[in-house]
Amino acid sequence: MNKYYRTFLQRLCQSINLKPAILTPGVLALLVTLPAAAVENNADDESKLRSEVENIFEKYGISEDIPKLGISSLTQGENLVEHMVRTIVEDGEVHKTEVFMVKTTDAKGNIDLRIKYDPRNLDEDTNVIEEIESATKTEYLLRSYSQGYDKSSITATEKDNGDVIVEFNYSKYQLPQDIAYFRFMKVSLLVVDGNVQSMSITNNKPFDYEGYTVDSYKQDISFVVKPDTGQVFIKDKHIVASGSRKGKPVQYETKIKTIAYYDKDDSVVISDRDLLTKVSDPRMREEKVELDRYFPLMADLVRRQGIDVPLPYGVSVSYRKQDMDVGFTYFDIMGLKLDDFFDPEKSYGIVTAESMAIRADLNILPFWNVYVLGGKIKVDATVNTEYTGVIRDVLEEKLGSEFKADIACKLIDEVGLPICDPAAFGVPLQLDYTLAGFGTTLSIGYREFFASLTGTYAVTKLDGQDWGEGIVTVQPMVGYQLLDYRAQVFVGAEYQGLKANMEGNLGFIEELNRDFTFDVGVELNQWAYLVGINKQIGKHYNITALYNKGETREAFTLNFGYRF
């Protein structure tokens, strides 16, 4: 009789379409745009610190724009020409490059930035223009981080000769991923006769950047003050760093010089006429740097508040393994109540599902992310059911005596159908599904803390059948950022909008001469808690691990993502 029960139960389980019990589509798309740290201080502390900073800066004639010049030279002036020479010595090999950068600004404030170069002065082993273009885009995006320093760290020391040393650190909270390494920097300003003469930026601990381990970093900037306006601009910038890459020693040096500075009143300061003549040579090649990006909307507004803005586009791959226990409350197949034959309370399913999904997402606003996802799910399940043997009672009622019922049961048993005795059966199943869905994430952050809410709508399709009903998944969570490690830990919950029953129609069954309909009651807990950690690797990559635990399910998810 086992083969008859197994055939029936296999048809039953396939008809139930186990998707609600084996899939959490929102988790496959979890890796939300974790919000960066927001404004550094509360209102009272911010007001107090601002007053202290203004007193120090005003006392010694320091412009509020000076600190951001260490991050982005594009913050100085509207029209300028810079000359850059970069030298990298990696494992004994020397790579040297020389380029010019020309920045112009129109009446509407739109910036046109071009890299001009002689191909003979480019390093042939690397795509220098692409690297410089990428770095320049970063500087452009960071031009609004005028308050990206820690106000509470500012100190001033007056020397015997009248010079003043003003020192401060860059902020842990307000620096974006692109220049996260600046949180390891200490800044020293030299003020002479009320004018800022130079700025020195050094690291206080090693840090990782773009595949390099940087042990020593120093940036020296000298300034020029226009006598007629008192405006400060960079005369030259010198960056020296040393470290290693893949175990090999690396030395890095960049020299940047402002060779022409054009003011709003059409006045010009030229520091090197020979270089200005050189960059004006019509034989020089040039590349235009496309600075503005449409997404996220309102990005500049948010950056001006000192808040990190995530890169707009992302793709990620997720692997998830989930184990579930499925309980049943009733069986109704084609209108026939089967509870008397199969005990729902003693029937249950053990389900293991493994899924792979790919997600593409977009940050429409700095705090609003939308995404689509698709993938495959493989299910290994065992449905254990308890046959009640109630058919013997039916035979006794029909035949009129226990004796006749016993004889009938014995005869049926001899032909291989032991339907008069209770029995437990386990039916193995292997099912393959296709997944598709979409969702959105809203997120906020304050200092090291953040919160997010993710909602996903997904549908699954059992191979050979139509798409099933959609499932809504919601994941609220809160977290804490480990700023020095560019990592986040978070806790929260996961809601799956599962119904208390599964019903459907598999269509016309020729052998039965009717549609195969089903309605099966299930016991599943809709909530589970979640804990996880996310680690950012450079400014483009991240990896996330997530663990779910609920009354009826347990899952582990691993995600690898790339943002650009």
Q: What is the pLDDT of residue 330?
A: 74
Amino acid letter, residue 410: K
Supply angle C-alpha 306, 309, 315, rounded to 5: 165
Q: How far is the first Cα of the chain from the last one, in angstroms, to the nearest whole number?
A: 60
What is d(CA 402, CA 385) in angstroms, rounded to the nearest whole number? 27
Q: Is 16 left (phi over 0), alpha (psi -120 to 50) or beta?
A: alpha
The helix-helix angle for 391-399 and 402-414 (nearest 10°) equals 130
Nearest alpha-carbon partner for 145 in 217, 247, 75: 75
Of the listed ranges 98-112, 297-311, 343-357, the least confidently predicted one is 297-311
Nearest alpha-carbon partner for 21 in 563, 550, 564, 515: 550
Contact 71, 179 (CB under 8 A): yes
Query: What are the residues facing 522 on neighbouring strands?
Result: 328
Q: What is the pLDDT of residue 178?
A: 61
Q: What is the pLDDT of residue 36?
A: 43
Contact 518, 16 (CB under 8 A): yes
Average pLDDT, the chain: 79
Give CA torsion, residues 207, 490, 563, 146, to 10 deg: -60
- Please provide residue 134's backbone torsions phi and psi, each rounded to the nearest 5 degrees: -65, -45
Q: Is 358 left (phi over 0), alpha (psi -120 to 50) or beta?
A: beta
- Please provide residue 63's backbone torsions phi and psi, each rounded to the nearest 5 degrees: -75, 145
Q: What is the pLDDT of residue 15?
A: 40
Contact 494, 527 (CB under 8 A): yes
pLDDT digits (tens, 9 = 90+) for 37-87: 443 444 445 454 455 555 788 888 888 778 777 777 666 767 899 999 999
3-state secondary structure string across 54-89 = HHHHHHCCCCCCHHHHCCCHHHCCCEEEEEEEEEEE
What is d(CA 73, CA 142) in angstroms, rounded to the nearest whole number? 10
Q: What is the pLDDT of residue 518?
A: 66
- What six digits make up the tokens of 302? 């948010």
Query: What are the residues facing 319 on neighbouring strands?
Result: 356, 558
Strands (E), 447-511: 449-462, 471-482, 487-496, 501-509
Q: Categorize the per-residue pLDDT at 18 as very low, low, confident or very high, splitting at 50, 70 and 90.
A: very low
Q: Categorize the per-residue pLDDT at 469 as very low, low, confident or very high, splitting at 50, 70 and 90.
A: confident
The whole-angstrom distance between residue 322's C-alpha and the CA centroid of its chain comes to 22
| Three-state secondary-structure class, residue 177 | helix
Q: Categorize the per-residue pLDDT at 22 as very low, low, confident or very high, splitting at 50, 70 and 90.
A: very low
What is d(CA 449, CA 42) in angstroms, rounded to the nearest whole number? 13
- Please provide residue 141's backbone torsions phi and psi, each rounded to the nearest 5 degrees: -65, -25
Q: What is the pLDDT of residue 17?
A: 43
Contact 284, 100 (CB under 8 A): yes
What is d(CA 275, CA 404) in angstroms, rounded to the nearest whole number? 113
**What residues contact 240, with CB distance under 8 A and at least 6 apart?**
216, 217, 218, 219, 252, 253
Q: What is the mean pLDDT of residues 424-429?
A: 70
| Three-state secondary-structure class, residue 465 | coil
Contact 201, 239 (CB under 8 A): no
Contact 334, 518 (CB under 8 A): yes
Residue 3 has pLDDT above 60, yes or no: no
What is d(CA 495, CA 437) in angstroms, rounded to the nearest whole number? 16
Q: What is the pLDDT of residue 542?
A: 94
| Three-state secondary-structure class, residue 527 | strand
What is d(CA 177, CA 308) in angstroms, rounded to the nearest whole number? 7
3-state secondary structure string across 426-443 = EEEEEEEEEEEEEEEEEE
- What six digits make up the tokens of 285? 């090649």
pLDDT top residue among 385 and 174: 385
Contact 33, 369 (CB under 8 A): yes
What is d(CA 145, CA 3) in angstroms, rounded to the nearest whole number? 72
Residue 30 has pLDDT above 50, yes or no: no
Residue 153 has pLDDT above 60, yes or no: yes
Q: Categorize the per-residue pLDDT at 365 as very low, low, confident or very high, splitting at 50, 70 and 90.
A: very high
pTM: 0.62
Give CA torsion, residues 194, 198, 203, 209, to 10 deg: 130
Q: Categorize the per-residue pLDDT at 202 as very low, low, confident or very high, splitting at 50, 70 and 90.
A: very high
